[in-house]
């Protein structure tokens, strides 16, 4: 069976209007701008409006991605939504997006890999296209993390923001598109980053709400050490599978969690700032939305040209990690 080359045909984003600055956070918890910036690199983040859920953010990002790919919703065969903040436990947010977009023939499912979600999503979607099962897929990374943050916990509430990024995948000319994937997981670290209540292990009760067990909890120091190690290792693995040296990387699009983690990767691979997409100062950590939003902005800023080697890499709760290498060929759908 001949395997098709698969690439990204169009990208899109949606970022809520409300901006929450470090100065705003100073009025909410015991913190300050200098402390946040020096330790994380974050200056502000976006917060979804009360009427906005993850599906709403997804639809707007998807509409932009479809327009940029010169496709209509009824041409999409598959929708994958990567998120840890779905509208509800079920139906899948992807189903709600399908209905609102009018993508009536698309198969749909959600994917939960936390901050690595978008990378897992494009890795999965590309296999359907490469093998000829489907032609066009829509992958969305979206989060409304403001809904699961404990706004009295100064160690976590400063980190996260809301947003959505989308990509349309489809066939591209041979030799271009996704060249390799490096995915991994380590469930033994699941306790380091989690929401304890709300599932079958610990159903919602008045007590779980009172004890804030429905809010995100994180062992920051341990997650930091894990992130530095696995993001670099995943990137090295993906480059090796693609037959590339680190010097051949034209742009790295890393998960936007902490500037120190990104700087570690820059040092490891000898990258200057012009070869790394960084936007966490504006948006904070948007989990699965971080990578697609940063990728879209790089495309809009003409930082990626045809033939460039682009690496998407990240890590997240689970614990999970992943990287993928593309030889860029953004072109209109055929």
Catalytic residue (one of 68, 157, 255, 313): 255
Contacts of residue 230, Cβ cutoff 8 Å, sequence gap at least 6: 184, 315, 319, 321
Instruction: For residue 117, report the phi and psi dihedrals to the nearest 5 degrees.
Output: -55, -45
Spell out a b/e string for 270-303, using b for 16 or more CB atoms within 10 Å of the CB, else e: ebeeeebbbbbebbbbbbbbbbbbbbbbbbeeeb
Judge whether 233 counts as a catalytic residue.
no
Judge whether 70 counts as a catalytic residue.
no
The C-alpha angle 219, 121, 251, rounded to 5 degrees, equals 80
Q: How far apart are CA 293 and CA 115, in angstroms?
A: 13
Is 324 exposed, middle or buried (CB count within 10 Å of its CB: 0-12, 13-18, 19+)? buried
Judge whether 32 counts as a catalytic residue.
no
- The tokens for 19 are 């901006």
Catalytic residue (one of 232, 285, 296, 313): 285
Catalytic residue (one of 22, 68, 95, 115): 115
Q: Which residues pair with 183 in a beta bridge?
A: 322
Query: Which residues are known to be catalytic?
Result: 115, 255, 285
């Amino acid at each position: 069976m001949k395997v098709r080359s698969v690439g990204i045909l169009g990208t899109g984003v949606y970022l809520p209007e409300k901006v929450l600055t470090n100065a705003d956070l100073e009025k909410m918890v015991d913190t300050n701008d200098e402390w946040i910036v020096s330790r994380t690199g974050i200056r502000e983040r976006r917060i979804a409006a009360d009427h906005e859920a993850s599906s709403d953010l997804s639809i707007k990002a998807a509409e932009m991605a479809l327009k940029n790919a010169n496709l209509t919703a009824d041409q999409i065969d598959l929708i994958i939504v990567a998120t840890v903040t779905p509208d509800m436990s079920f139906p899948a947010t992807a189903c709600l997006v399908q209905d609102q977009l009018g993508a009536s023939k698309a198969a749909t499912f959600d994917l939960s890999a936390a901050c690595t979600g978008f990378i897992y999503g494009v890795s999965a979607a590309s296999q359907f296209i490469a093998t000829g099962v489907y032609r066009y897929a829509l992958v969305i990374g979206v989060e409304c993390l403001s809904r699961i943050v404990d706004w009295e916990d100064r160690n976590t509430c400063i980190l996260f923001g809301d947003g959505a990024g989308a990509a349309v995948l489809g066939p591209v000319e041979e030799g271009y598109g996704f060249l390799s994937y490096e995915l991994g997981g380590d469930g033994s670290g699941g306790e380091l980053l989690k929401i304890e209540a709300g599932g079958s292990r610990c159903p919602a009760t008045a007590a779980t709400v009172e004890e804030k067990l429905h809010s995100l909890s994180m062992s920051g120091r341990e997650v930091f050490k894990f992130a530095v190690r696995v993001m670099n290792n995943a990137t090295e693995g993906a480059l090796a599978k693609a037959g590339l040296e680190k010097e051949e990387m034209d742009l790295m699009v890393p998960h936007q969690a902490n500037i120190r983690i990104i700087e570690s990767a820059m040092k490891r691979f000898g990258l200057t700032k012009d070869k790394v997409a960084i936007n966490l100062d504006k948006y904070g950590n948007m989990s699965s939305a971080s990578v697609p939003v940063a990728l879209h902005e790089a495309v809009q800023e003409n930082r990626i040209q045809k033939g460039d080697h682009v690496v998407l890499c990240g890590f997240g709760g689970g614990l999970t990690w992943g990287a993928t290498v593309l030889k860029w060929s953004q072109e209109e759908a055929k």
